[in-house]
Amino acid sequence: MGENQIPSLDRATLWRVAARSLFLEASWNLIGQQNLGFAAAVNPALKVLYKAGSEEFVAAQRRVLSFFNTNPVLSGLVIGAALKLEEERAKGLISERDSSLIVSTLASTLAIHGDLLFWQAWLPFSCLMGFGLTWLSLAQGQITFWPLIIPALFGALAWPTRIGGIFYGYRLGATAHRAVAKLKAPLIARVVLRLTVFLTGFLTVYSVKLIGPKTDGRIWPIFVIAALAPLLALAQKRWPKIGYAGLYLLIVFGLTLAAVALYERSLF
What's phi and psi for 29, nearest 5 deg?
-145, 165
Looking at every residue in the chain, the average pLDDT score rounds to 81
- Provide the residue ranges of all domains of the chain, joining segments of one domain with +: 1-121+133-183, 184-268
Closest CA to 132 of 206, 78, 186: 206
Does residue 141 come out as left (phi exceeding 0), alpha (psi in the -120 to 50 range) or beta?
Answer: left
What's phi and psi for 33, nearest 5 deg?
55, -100
Percent of the chain with pLDDT over 90: 35
Q: Does the pLDDT of residue 98 top 60, yes or no?
A: yes
Q: Does the pLDDT of residue 172 top 70, yes or no?
A: yes
Greater confidence (161 vs 221) lies with: 161
pTM: 0.76
Q: Is 68 helix (H, G, I), strand (E, B) or coil?
A: strand
| pLDDT tens, residue by residue, 238-263 | 666 666 666 666 666 666 665 665 56
**pLDDT bucket at 164, cuts 50 / 70 / 90:** very high
Q: What is the b/e burial string over 14-30, where b = at least 16 CB atoms within 10 angstroms of the residue's CB?
A: bebbbebbbebeeeeee
| pLDDT tens, residue by residue, 43-66 | 999 999 998 888 889 998 999 998
